Structure 1
Amino acid sequence: MGSEQTEHDHAGHTGTGNFDDKAATWDEDPDKARQSGEVARGIAAAVPLAPRSRVLEYGAGTGLVTIALLDDLVEPTLTLADSSSGMRQVLADKVEAGVLPSPTRVSDLDLETHPVPTDHYDLILSSMVMHHVKSFDVVLGAFFEMLDPGGHLCIADLDAEDGSFHGHDFDGHHGFDRVSLQASVERAGFTDVTVSDCSSITREDATYPVFLAVARKP
């Protein structure tokens, strides 16, 4: 999990090599910090972050969204999952350096291919990850299973676009239609689903809107 050059923290379901190569210099792009901060502010405004919340960021990349959330979290239990070994090494280095609180668990997790873990969470979040996920409903079902009742799911991702964001060799989703996405999340069992504007990514002559979908497990 990782990203194209200006894209946000991402999943590496299309192959992790690209993300492995970019992991060490990932945080040098100031636009990634801006995007991460906007996503984190959207999550903090939409979800009650109770003390000692158990949080999973799926496709965490270098953990920028979770790090931006730390001011709103009190003694959280954090799990940062990414299928890129390069990204996981950066995460482990951040834990060792104290940028991420200890203990923060760094996990190799791909919910399209791995069994659903038995761990449970109060908040699961992903940012610019789900358009890489081919088995979208499978991953949504895993999120539902891993959340405790009353827990929240937050997904930040691209609005539907014409395919120009990734180019011709991309085999994931070209963003999401908000109505269809909400229906998919509701089919997975979630309630109180909202989808709102969150951020944007500018690339050359095009700006791509980013939404934040928030849902609750009843």
Structure 2
Amino acid sequence: MITQRKLEPDEMVEVLKAAGEPTRLRLLALLARGDLTVTDLTDILGQSQPRISRHLKLLTEASLIDRYQEGAWAYFRLRQEGSAVSVVRQLLDACDQRDAVLARDGERLTALKKIRSEKAQAYFSRNAAEWDELRRLHVSEAEVEAALKSLIGDEPVETFLDLGTGTGRILQLFEGLYRRGVGVDASRDMLAVARSNLDRAGITKASVRHGDIFNLPLERDEFDVVTIHQVLHFLEEPEAAIAEAARMLRPGGRLVIIDLAPHGLEYLRTEHAHLRLGFPHQTMSEWLKKSGLVLEKTVDLEPSIADGGGLTVTIWLARNDNATYDVTSSLDSPIAIAGRN
């Protein structure tokens, strides 16, 4: 567990100044409950966009909130780490949530999340038939998830990253394992689904953001566990995605890849945009080694279909055992493809 440093008196005063204003305190209370845009916040608080933006700028400068871009939209949320944020969380815990203003803000936030959830569910429903068809080809998701949890174990970690996060299912599955979780996906529609699912599950220690799996909007050497779930077979250059994932790992950090073993279902190329028909063990082992990782374990989950028409799901677990290894790649970064969790 990371030990928070103590704030100097001058630093404490600055934190209290930043948080000690009615509108900014309301903003912090809302942003502690998830990702919100300026438009979301103006709707909830009933204040002008320039006013909200000014307060958000002050909170960002005070290192109390994070801002990240997603296309034309900017999302904000309460920072998950830092001594200053620890003070703010104590202040929010001390606030009476039955206060009329805070209670009204909470009701409006709930209504906004309901609208967001309905939109996300509509998108998910439009694509559910395709995903259901693919799931029938391999072992159940429950079996895959059980194997995944067994491999990763239950020892708590500080940071967890899910690449191609899709519906955010992996972030939900390991919610009890990490202190801070991040999901990245190239599809804004899928990010809407993931946010809705995290909201519904009440998970505030995980966030999702738009990003290119080949050029992640994150700091290197930052994560204890990185997962790539059913994403690589959509990519022109899966090796480059593995190298970028390896760059995210702290020394001793683990990369877990869940994908398909080699198969001959050619129709998946034309009907479901699969660019790779699975991955041989040898190929994956070579890619992991080239990225500076040590392959520790491989698990094959055979399909229940006995006529050869099913798909084997493989899980590869690798570790960053070289603290000085510098992951570099001369490959160009192809266009990002969204995950399909």
User: TM-score of the superposition, structure 1-length normalised?
Assistant: 0.75
Greater radius of gyration (CA): 2
Given the alignment, which residue of 212, 215, 223 partners 1:121? 223
Structure 2 unaligned blocks of 5 or more: 1-119, 322-341
The answer (yes or no) to whether the contact 1:123–1:153 under 8 Å persists in 2 is yes
- For residues 17-38 of structure 1, give each alpha carbon's deviation from its aligned partner in whole angstroms, at most 9, with x where no partner exists: xxx9984226785958x74433
Q: SS at 2:254's partner residue?
A: strand
The aligned length equals 193
- Name the counterpart of 1:180: 283
Evaluate the alpha carbon distance shift between residue 193 and residue 168 of structure 1 in structure 2; reply closer, same or farther with a 3 A threshold: same
Structure 1 unaligned blocks of 5 or more: 1-19
Identity across aligned pairs (percent)?
A: 18
- Name the counterpart of 2:199: 96
> Aligned pair 1:151/2:253, yes or no?
yes
Q: Which has the higher contact order (CA 8 A, sep 6+)?
A: 1
- Name the counterpart of 2:241: 139
User: When you count strand as a share of all residues, which structure comes out higher?
Assistant: 1
Given the alignment, which residue of 284, 296, 305 partners 1:193? 296
- Name the counterpart of 2:209: 107
- For residues 179-214 of structure 1, give each alpha carbon's deviation from its aligned partner in whole angstroms, at most 9, with x where no partner exists: 211121111111143221136486x98211110011
Q: CA deviation at 1:47?
A: 2.3
Evaluate the alpha carbon distance shift between residue 216 and residue 89 of structure 1 in structure 2; reply closer, same or farther with a 3 A threshold: same
Q: C-alpha separation between the residues in 1 aligned to 2:190 and 2:227?
A: 17
Evaluate the alpha carbon distance shift between residue 24 and residue 171 of structure 1 in structure 2; reply closer, same or farther with a 3 A threshold: closer
Q: SS at 2:124's partner residue?
A: helix
Q: SS at 1:208's partner residue?
A: coil
The 5-angstrom pairing of residues 1-218 of structure 1 reads 23-25=123-125, 29=132, 35-70=140-175, 73-97=176-200, 99=201, 101-112=203-214, 114-115=215-216, 117-118=218-219, 120-164=222-266, 166-168=268-270, 170=273, 172-198=275-301, 200=303, 206-218=309-321
RMSD: 3.0
Evaluate the alpha carbon distance shift between residue 198 and residue 126 of structure 1 in structure 2; reply closer, same or farther with a 3 A threshold: farther
Q: CA deviation at 1:126?
A: 1.5
Q: CA deviation at 1:58?
A: 0.7
The answer (yes or no) to whether the contact 1:41–1:69 under 8 Å persists in 2 is no
The answer (yes or no) to whether the contact 2:185–2:213 under 8 Å persists in 1 is no
Is the deviation greater in 193-202 or in 208-217?
193-202
The answer (yes or no) to whether the contact 1:35–1:199 under 8 Å persists in 2 is no
User: When you count helix as a share of all residues, which structure comes out higher?
Assistant: 2
Q: C-alpha separation between the residues in 1 aligned to 2:274 and 2:140?
A: 24
User: TM-score of the superposition, structure 2-length normalised?
Assistant: 0.50
Q: C-alpha separation between the residues in 2 aligned to 1:166 and 1:100?
A: 36
Evaluate the alpha carbon distance shift between residue 141 and residue 163 of structure 1 in structure 2; reply closer, same or farther with a 3 A threshold: same
